[in-house]
Structure 1
Amino acid sequence: MTDYIDVDVRPILRAGGEPFSVIMAALQRLAPGQGLRLYATFKPVPLFAVMADKGYAYADRPLEHGEWEVLFTPVETELEQASSAAAGAGFDDWPEPAVKLDNRDLEPPEPMVRILAAADQLGPGETLSALLRREPVFLFPQLEKRGFRWLGGFTPDGATYELTVRAP
């Protein structure tokens, strides 16, 4: 679970100031794996791309009076957690993928259709890898229903979801 430090830039914004340097200074003070909880008087959409370039995913929610809370979570933490869980679950002995799919240019549901079709062709214990633009949340129950195991996470830049699937 990610630990967050709070940065409330609402007073700076209300006073007509520019809080970007305060946010970047707070970012520099974060410990490895730590996230940033930002409070702002507006949804800080331009900041999302800046933080993605620095390796942070975001989740936002509106507050009262048009204000916003945004959680910036280090993407590496998600990958490290997935890797740790995988190592503990015996995923570290998986073979190299027999099939490699790049589904980043496809629109849903085509990535799921391609992955399931390829997975059904795998031999016992074989794996496939797939690159996607987003986390395939609707695919996971389908894989589990068919007896497949899977491991996935976003790359550090947050642009690609890497999925590995192993046949039963």
Structure 2
Amino acid sequence: MTAPDPFELDVRPQLARGEEPFGAIMAAADRLLPGQALRLIAPFRPAPLFGVMANRGFAASDRQRPDGAWEVVFAPLEDGTPDAGLAPGSAPGAALWPDPSVTLDLTGLTPPEPMVRILETLAALPAGDVLFALLDREPIFLFPELATRGHEWAGNVAPDGGSYRLLVRSGGPEGEAEHG
């Protein structure tokens, strides 16, 4: 049996209208057939999306097209989403991070409150400090924000399946995130 052709989503028109395409991308990913890839066309390389899609069980390959647009193919991983260890998209060196200096139990809060609290807390943390958060669900909308602000993350579903555990290493307070 052969895999279906990739589903193509061109987000350039949405972005040109000033619209945020993240919801459309996630909806397209949710509609994919088993084994089907998502081909995304964007005016820039959507690097923060790589971790989000990796966490959903997709590998990314990208290239800049002759017209200047970026084409990214998100192909499903052979074995699907891993059920043990850190989730795909997690920072590779997370096992070597220091113990968390801040712990947040965000279970029972409705979105976007968990994301707001995590970002507010990170805005005050020195670079290299680690935050631990316990959430009701995987914070897929948070991952691109973390990447944009210079933070790294690692996470996974708790063994009981009832919560999501997230570590975030601060890239520094807002405005300090210079990489040196």
Compute the TM-score of the two structures, normalised by the length of structure 2: 0.47
**CA drift at 1:81:** 4.7
- For 1:105, give the aligned amino acid: G
Match of 1:151 among 127, 141, 154: 154
Shift of 1:91: 1.7
In 2: Cα distance, 1:78 partner to 1:150 partner: 18
One of 74, 79, 92 as aligned partner of 2:84: 79
- Counterpart-to-counterpart distance in 1, 2:144 and 2:80: 26
Relative to structure 1, the CA distance from residue 74 to residue 115 in structure 2 (aligned partners, 3 Å threshold; closer, same or farther) is: same
Equivalent in the alignment of 2:11: none
Structure 1 residues 104-143: aligned runs within 5 Å: 104-143=107-146
Q: Which residue of 2 aligns with 1:98?
A: 101
Tell me the secondary structure at the aligned position of residue 152 of structure 1.
strand
Does the Cα contact within 8 Å between 2:86 and 2:154 map onto a contact in 1? no
Structure 2: segments with no counterpart, 5+ residues: 1-78, 172-180
Structure 1: runs of 5+ lacking an equivalent? 1-72
> What is the number of residues matched between the two proteins?
94
Mapped contact 2:86–2:156 kept (Cα < 8 A): no
Q: Which residue of 2 aligns with 1:13?
A: none
**Quick check: which has more Rg, 1 or 2?**
1
Moved runs in structure 1, 4+ residues, more than 3 A? none
Quick one: distance in 1 between partners of 2:134 and 2:119?
Answer: 14
Shift of 1:74: 10
Kept in 2, the 8 Å contact 1:79–1:155? The answer is no
Q: How do residues 6-21 of structure 1 correspond to structure 2 at under 5 angstroms?
A: none
- Structure 2 distance, partners of 1:108, 1:99, is 20
Q: Sequence identity of aligned pairs in percent?
A: 48
Aligned counterparts of 1:81 and 1:167: Cα–Cα separation in 2: 18
Give the C-alpha shift of residue 78 in structure 1.
Answer: 3.0
Letter of the 1:101 partner, please give it: L
| C-alpha deviation, 1:161, in angstroms | 0.2
